[in-house]
Protein backbone atom coordinates (compact mmCIF):
# COMPACT_ATOMS: atom_id res chain seq x y z
CA UNK A 1 0.00 0.00 0.00
CA UNK A 2 1.01 3.45 -0.75
CA UNK A 3 1.63 5.97 2.06
CA UNK A 4 -0.81 8.40 0.39
CA UNK A 5 -3.59 5.84 0.81
CA UNK A 6 -2.75 4.79 4.36
CA UNK A 7 -2.48 8.23 5.92
CA UNK A 8 -6.07 9.38 5.12
CA UNK A 9 -7.41 6.02 6.31
CA UNK A 10 -5.56 6.36 9.64
CA UNK A 11 -6.75 9.94 10.15
CA UNK A 12 -10.35 8.98 9.35
CA UNK A 13 -10.17 6.05 11.78
CA UNK A 14 -8.81 8.23 14.56
CA UNK A 15 -11.42 10.93 14.04
CA UNK A 16 -14.33 8.53 13.87
CA UNK A 17 -13.07 6.42 16.75
CA UNK A 18 -12.57 9.34 19.15
CA UNK A 19 -15.67 11.38 18.37
CA UNK A 20 -18.76 10.88 20.45
CA UNK A 21 -22.29 10.86 19.25
CA UNK A 22 -23.94 14.28 19.63
CA UNK A 23 -27.56 14.57 20.58
CA UNK A 24 -29.52 17.73 19.94
CA UNK A 25 -31.23 19.31 22.90
CA UNK A 26 -34.79 19.18 21.73
CA UNK A 27 -36.43 19.89 25.05
CA UNK A 28 -38.16 23.24 24.88
CA UNK A 29 -40.13 24.47 27.85
CA UNK A 30 -43.87 24.05 27.68
CA UNK A 31 -46.12 27.10 27.60
CA UNK A 32 -46.94 26.69 31.30
CA UNK A 33 -43.25 26.42 32.18
CA UNK A 34 -42.45 29.55 30.16
CA UNK A 35 -45.32 31.44 31.85
CA UNK A 36 -43.98 30.37 35.25
CA UNK A 37 -40.48 31.56 34.26
CA UNK A 38 -41.81 34.96 33.23
CA UNK A 39 -43.84 35.31 36.43
CA UNK A 40 -40.88 34.34 38.61
CA UNK A 41 -38.61 36.79 36.79
CA UNK A 42 -40.87 39.86 36.56
CA UNK A 43 -43.38 39.60 39.42
CA UNK A 44 -40.76 40.59 42.04
CA UNK A 45 -39.77 43.58 39.91
CA UNK A 46 -43.37 44.73 39.53
CA UNK A 47 -43.95 44.26 43.27
CA UNK A 48 -40.88 46.35 44.09
CA UNK A 49 -42.02 49.11 41.72
CA UNK A 50 -45.53 49.06 43.22
CA UNK A 51 -44.05 49.42 46.70
CA UNK A 52 -41.88 52.35 45.62
CA UNK A 53 -44.89 54.00 43.99
CA UNK A 54 -47.02 53.59 47.12
CA UNK A 55 -44.29 55.24 49.21
CA UNK A 56 -44.32 58.21 46.83
CA UNK A 57 -48.10 58.69 47.07
CA UNK A 58 -48.09 60.94 50.14
CA UNK A 59 -45.03 62.91 49.01
CA UNK A 60 -46.30 63.83 45.55
CA UNK A 61 -49.62 65.13 46.92
CA UNK A 62 -47.70 68.18 48.10
CA UNK A 63 -47.10 69.31 44.50
CA UNK A 64 -50.01 69.45 42.03
CA UNK A 65 -47.85 68.85 38.96
CA UNK A 66 -46.12 65.83 40.47
CA UNK A 67 -49.48 64.53 41.67
CA UNK A 68 -50.79 64.58 38.07
CA UNK A 69 -47.66 62.81 36.83
CA UNK A 70 -48.02 60.23 39.60
CA UNK A 71 -51.66 59.57 38.68
CA UNK A 72 -50.69 59.02 35.04
CA UNK A 73 -47.89 56.63 36.04
CA UNK A 74 -50.20 54.66 38.35
CA UNK A 75 -52.81 54.34 35.59
CA UNK A 76 -50.20 53.17 33.08
CA UNK A 77 -48.62 50.81 35.63
CA UNK A 78 -51.88 49.08 36.54
CA UNK A 79 -53.00 48.89 32.90
CA UNK A 80 -49.76 47.36 31.68
CA UNK A 81 -49.57 44.96 34.62
CA UNK A 82 -53.11 43.76 33.88
CA UNK A 83 -52.31 43.42 30.17
CA UNK A 84 -49.28 41.27 30.91
CA UNK A 85 -51.14 39.10 33.40
CA UNK A 86 -54.08 38.66 31.01
CA UNK A 87 -51.72 37.80 28.16
CA UNK A 88 -49.93 35.20 30.23
CA UNK A 89 -53.24 33.72 31.40
CA UNK A 90 -54.62 33.53 27.84
CA UNK A 91 -54.06 30.25 26.04
CA UNK A 92 -53.79 31.98 22.67
CA UNK A 93 -51.48 34.91 23.49
CA UNK A 94 -47.81 34.78 22.50
CA UNK A 95 -45.89 34.05 25.69
CA UNK A 96 -42.57 35.35 24.37
CA UNK A 97 -44.21 38.63 23.34
CA UNK A 98 -45.62 38.98 26.87
CA UNK A 99 -42.15 38.30 28.27
CA UNK A 100 -40.66 40.99 26.07
CA UNK A 101 -43.42 43.40 27.08
CA UNK A 102 -42.78 42.66 30.76
CA UNK A 103 -39.06 43.32 30.28
CA UNK A 104 -39.70 46.58 28.44
CA UNK A 105 -42.27 47.84 30.94
CA UNK A 106 -40.24 47.02 34.06
CA UNK A 107 -37.33 48.97 32.60
CA UNK A 108 -39.55 51.90 31.67
CA UNK A 109 -41.28 52.00 35.04
CA UNK A 110 -38.00 51.69 36.94
CA UNK A 111 -36.78 54.80 35.16
CA UNK A 112 -40.04 56.67 35.67
CA UNK A 113 -40.27 55.80 39.37
CA UNK A 114 -36.66 56.86 39.87
CA UNK A 115 -37.37 60.24 38.27
CA UNK A 116 -40.50 60.68 40.41
CA UNK A 117 -38.45 59.88 43.52
CA UNK A 118 -35.88 62.51 42.54
CA UNK A 119 -38.58 65.12 41.90
CA UNK A 120 -40.37 64.28 45.15
CA UNK A 121 -37.07 64.83 46.97
CA UNK A 122 -36.99 68.40 45.64
CA UNK A 123 -40.30 69.35 47.28
CA UNK A 124 -39.89 72.17 49.81
CA UNK A 125 -42.27 73.63 52.35
CA UNK A 126 -42.30 77.33 53.12
CA UNK A 127 -44.28 79.36 55.65
CA UNK A 128 -46.23 82.37 54.46
CA UNK A 129 -47.59 85.05 56.80
CA UNK A 130 -50.42 87.56 56.46
CA UNK A 131 -51.11 89.44 59.67
CA UNK A 132 -51.43 86.66 62.28
CA UNK A 133 -52.36 83.93 59.78
CA UNK A 134 -49.64 81.50 58.77
CA UNK A 135 -49.96 79.12 55.81
CA UNK A 136 -47.58 76.38 54.82
CA UNK A 137 -47.10 75.96 51.08
CA UNK A 138 -45.36 72.94 49.60
CA UNK A 139 -44.08 72.25 46.12
CA UNK A 140 -41.00 71.98 43.95
CA UNK A 141 -41.00 75.78 43.60
CA UNK A 142 -43.45 76.95 46.27
CA UNK A 143 -44.82 80.50 46.12
CA UNK A 144 -46.81 82.35 48.73
CA UNK A 145 -50.42 83.15 47.89
CA UNK A 146 -51.32 86.72 46.96
CA UNK A 147 -51.11 89.01 50.01
CA UNK A 148 -48.87 86.67 51.98
CA UNK A 149 -45.17 87.21 52.66
CA UNK A 150 -42.61 84.45 52.96
CA UNK A 151 -41.56 83.95 56.57
CA UNK A 152 -37.81 83.93 57.03
**Does 5 reside within a domain?**
no
Residue 103 and residue 128 in one domain: no
Q: Cα 152 to the chain's mean position, in Å?
A: 43
151 part of a folded domain = yes
Q: Is residue 21 part of a domain?
A: no
Paired residues of 149 in beta bridges: 129
Pairwise CA distance, residues 69 & 125, whole Å = 20
Global pTM value = 0.72
Based on the fold, state whether residues 94 and 55 are members of the same structural domain. Answer: yes
Q: Are 126 and 137 in contact (CB under 8 A)?
A: yes
Q: What letter would DSSP give residue 144?
A: P
- Do residues 109 and 152 both lie within one domain? no
Same domain? For 36 and 108 the reply is: yes
How many structural domains does the chain have? 2
Partners of 138 in the beta sheet?
A: 125
Query: Looking at the DSSP assignment, which residues form a beta bridge with residue 134?
Result: 129
> Digits of tens for pLDDT over the chain (152 positions)?
566 666 676 666 766 666 566 666 667 888 899 999 999 999 999 999 999 999 999 999 988 899 999 999 999 999 999 999 999 999 888 999 999 999 999 999 999 999 999 999 999 999 999 998 999 998 888 999 999 999 88
For residue 107, the enclosing domain spans 31-121
Amino acid sequence: MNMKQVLPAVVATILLGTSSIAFADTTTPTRDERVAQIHSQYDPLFTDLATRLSVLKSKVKLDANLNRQYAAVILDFTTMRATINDGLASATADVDAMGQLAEEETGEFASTVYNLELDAGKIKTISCVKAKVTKKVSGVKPLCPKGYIKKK
